[in-house]
Amino acid sequence: MLSFDGTFLKSESLNGTNLKFPLHGPQRRQILNFQNSMAKNPKAADSRRGRPPTRRPQPSRAKEVPAASSADIEDLAPAVPGAAAAAAAAPAVLRAQLLRWYDVHRRDLPWRRASGGEEERAYAVWVSEVMLQQTRVPVVVGYYERWMARWPTVRDLAAATQEEVNEMWAGLGYYRRARFLLEGAKQIVEKGEFPRTASALREVRGIGDYTAGAIASIAFNEVVPVVDGNVVRVISRLYAISDNPKESSTMKRFWEIAGQLVDPSRSGDFNQAMMELGATLCSKSKPGCSGCPVSSHCQALALSLENPSVKVTDFPRVVPKAKPRSDFAAVCVVQIAQGLEEEVTDAKGTDNLFLLIKRPEEGLLAGLWEFPLVLVEEGKTDSLNRRKAMDKYLTKLLSIDVGWKSDVILREDVGEHVHIFSHIRLTMYVELMIINLKDGVDRLCKKEDDKLKFTNESSVESMGLTSGIRKVYNMVKAFKEKRLSVSEKGQVPTRKRSRRLK
């Protein structure tokens, strides 16, 4: 059914999806004039609808209802040439305008230059789309190029280890994405072929609706939509959708509209054009409406021009994020100084080892390596309580070899670092502890398992640590360099501390 509210032509399909198209100029004036005439002459309206006129009491002027949007636009269409066809024509016009703009203005990105067959193209799209989730394009470009140089095909990736993948991914965050990429690659290689449809792609570990749609449309030209944050922003402004974008019913509506808009002959290019528009001109806070190729279709823009209190940036609705919980942790960088005299508090040399612990395979930062870390209560973040908690943890951890003793020749607080996750604000209290194990180091290293290892400084420098743990390591490194500089200048170093670990 079509209707008109004074500014927009509204179309409601049989499946309940509502679409709105702004009308301007002569068409809008014709519809308004016709509505006014129908309101003033009810008999004429009844006659046009094919109903017999009825006698009605004449309302007084004080109660007269202004000309409103009560008339069905389907009934009015013959009096307004072209108006009824506007709803059907608008998507086709929008597609053409958007694709023309994309052909000229699209950014030159490495994954858009991927060569080879459809499977190679699909793999390139997959890697890039996973990297781009929650990460800006300029950051991704370098990671993508290094990744593809090392693993140019899905079969190359399937042969990699999780350690190698984590090392390559280090710094991108959301490390579960890297694990899913590797697991998905192994699954595809095991089946023997790359899935070619969105429904088949969704069966691959870690591939959801959005990634499946992107791969299927861009690599295999399947006519399926994609909806990411950029597309949500574009659609919500085109159709002035003010509903909460986080609600499932609203997201379903976005997917339905995107499915109706996608170009049947250039689905991949159209989906990329929608994302490109949202990432560039149709930005969150500073949309470039004057240069937008589809601004004539934008209801949010039309509303903002007619009502100063409405802004394009009001769409989509901004939903306040849940406040992240605050966690506190003691982090101890344990350095095993082999063959060092106890008077030397600034350990140097290639023989020194660092203790690293592997996180559980499920949960936050699953399967990644870090320095010993213990969560502490907010009220027990003082040095004494932190060290008690850490000592208990280390004693339990290192009790794998009973009978050896070690001297702690240096233990000092280094500083604090706050690391922000999507839902956690983690304050890490960092300390450095240098241990002289004397003759016990060999026996301790023999007890390594898949959850504990000792690695030298050069390996720590190159391995794939998370950005938070890398910051901790750099803090300790700077602390040691400062102490060494003070020592070389002849100033009195901090007094050595010695104690026993049991």
Computed over every residue of the chain, the mean pLDDT equals: 80
- Cβ-based neighbour number of residue 303 at 10 Å: 20
Partner residues linked to 456 by β-bridges: 353
31 vs 458: CA distance, rounded Å? 75
What is the per-residue pLDDT for 74? 28
Which are the contacts of 418, defined by CB distance < 8 A and separation ≥ 6?
A: 425, 426, 427, 428
What is the per-residue pLDDT for 399? 59
Question: Is 80 exceeded by the pLDDT of residue 415?
Answer: yes
Q: Which amino acid is at 204?
A: V
SS3 label, residue 54: coil
How far are the Cα atoms of 235, 251, 252, 262, 433 from residue 94, in angstroms, in the given order? 12, 21, 21, 10, 64
Supply 171's token pair.
Answer: 């710094």
- Specify the higher pLDDT residue, 383 or 36: 383
252 vs 257: CA distance, rounded Å? 9
What percent of the chain lies above the pLDDT cut of 70? 72
443 vs 491: CA distance, rounded Å? 37
197 vs 224: CA distance, rounded Å? 9
Query: Positive or negative, the Cα torsion across 105, 111, 113, 118?
Result: negative
SS3 label, residue 403: coil
The answer, as to whether pTM is greater than 0.85, is no
63 vs 54: CA distance, rounded Å? 20
- Residue 328: DSSP 8-state: E
449 vs 451: CA distance, rounded Å? 5
Question: Is 80 exceeded by the pLDDT of residue 401?
Answer: no
Question: Is 80 exceeded by the pLDDT of residue 474?
Answer: yes
92 vs 247: CA distance, rounded Å? 29
Which are the contacts of 328, defined by CB distance < 8 A and separation ≥ 6?
A: 375, 376, 377, 378, 381, 426, 427, 429
What is the per-residue pLDDT for 148? 97
- Specify the higher pLDDT residue, 365 or 343: 365
All structural domains of the chain, each given as residue ranges with its CATH number in brackets, are 90-314 (1.10.340.30), 325-339+350-487 (3.90.79.10)
Q: Per-residue pLDDT averaged across 351-377, rounded?
A: 88
Partner residues linked to 419 by β-bridges: 426
Which are the contacts of 150, defined by CB distance < 8 A and separation ≥ 6?
A: 156, 168
Q: Which amino acid is at 485?
A: S
235 vs 237: CA distance, rounded Å? 5
**Longest C-alpha distance within the chain, in Å?**
111
Q: What is the pLDDT of residues 318-355, one digit of tens each?
A: 988 888 999 999 999 999 876 444 433 344 444 678 99
Active-site residue identified among 74, 118, 120, 129:
129
Phi-psi region of 62 (alpha: psi -120 to 50; beta: other; left: phi over 0): alpha
183 vs 179: CA distance, rounded Å? 6
Q: What is the pLDDT of residues 92-128, one digit of tens each?
A: 999 999 999 999 999 999 999 988 899 999 999 999 9
Q: What is the pLDDT of residues 209-251, one digit of tens each?
A: 999 999 999 999 999 999 999 999 999 999 999 999 999 999 9
Q: Per-residue pLDDT averaged across 468-484, rounded?
A: 92
What is the per-residue pLDDT for 343? 38
Q: Is 129 a catalytic site residue? A: yes
The CA-CA-CA angle for residues 200, 206, 211, to 5°, reads: 65
- Cβ-based neighbour number of residue 45 at 10 Å: 20
SS (H, E, C) 220-286: HCCCCCCCCHHHHHHHHHHCCCCCCCCCHHHHHHHHHHHHHHCCCCCHHHHHHHHHHHHHCCCCCCC
Q: Per-residue pLDDT averaged across 170-196, rounded?
A: 94
Q: Go through 224-243 and write b for each residue having 16 or more CB atoms within 10 A of its CB, e for each that does not.
A: bbbbbbbbbbbbbbbbbbee
- Of 124-138, 355-369, 402-416, which has the strongest mean pLDDT? 124-138
Check: CB of residue 398 under 8 Å from CB of residue 332.
no
337 vs 403: CA distance, rounded Å? 19
Q: What is the pLDDT of residues 432-449, one digit of tens each?
A: 999 876 555 555 555 556
